[in-house]
Amino acid sequence: MSPTALIYGATGYMGRLNARQAAEAGMRPVLPGRDASVLPS
């Protein structure tokens, strides 16, 4: 099971970069947000 990373602010520049790097590192990013339509998929 891969580690999970909870990343707030994933719709912003740094949050998006962090989410991408976490996924590339084999982690499972969890992206909480108010509007799911703007979260990266």
Would residue 26 be called left, alpha or beta, if left means φ above 0 and alpha means ψ between -120 and 50 degrees? left
Q: Which residues pair with 4 in a beta bridge?
A: 28
Report the distance separating Cα 19 and Cα 27, nearest Å.
9
Task: Give yes or no for a contact between 23 and 17, defined as CB atoms under 8 angstroms apart.
Answer: no
Q: Is the pTM of this model over 0.85?
A: no
pLDDT in tens, the chain (41 residues): 789 999 998 888 998 899 999 999 999 999 887 777 776 66
At 7 the pLDDT is: 93
pLDDT recorded at residue 41? 62
